[in-house]
Amino acid sequence: MAVIRDLEKIQIKFVMKLVNKVYIQKENKDDNIPERLRIVFDIRDELKDFVNNYVKTEGQTLSKDIEDKFIKSEDKSIKNISKAIITIRDYFVKTKHIDEFFPYLRTKS
């Protein structure tokens, strides 16, 4: 979802809103529900920082740091997430299938 958000940022603004809805629970004062991030990675500080900086933050799945720095990480989780981001990003850039895949992802996840 984060890769789609970042690739579609310029082209389709409503996609960003839908993707952010997955990540952020909006506040509902009537039901006493606070605003919060839906995805929490508190396993290890390094992984938590990576997810916060390169997955949750808009535009960061396109960062060169993922290819240049994190793909070589000693932390297996960071390395695997980096590989997944690169693979997903490269697939969508080459095939241009985001418009077909995004509705499927929204309805089947």
pLDDT for residue 7: 85
- The answer on pLDDT for 3 being more than 80 is yes
**In the chain, what are the domain boundaries?**
2-108
From 54, 71, 41, 47, select the one nearest 2 (Cα to Cα): 54
pLDDT value for 14: 65
Reply yes or no on whether the pLDDT at 31 is more than 80. Answer: yes
Say what percent of the chain tops pLDDT 90. Answer: 38
With a CB cutoff of 8 Å and minimum separation 6, the contacts of 14 are: none
Mean pLDDT of 19-31: 80
Which 3 state secondary structure label does DSSP give 14? helix
Answer yes or no: is pLDDT of 11 > 80: no
Can you say how many angstroms the Cα of residue 74 is from the centroid of all Cα atoms in its chain? 21
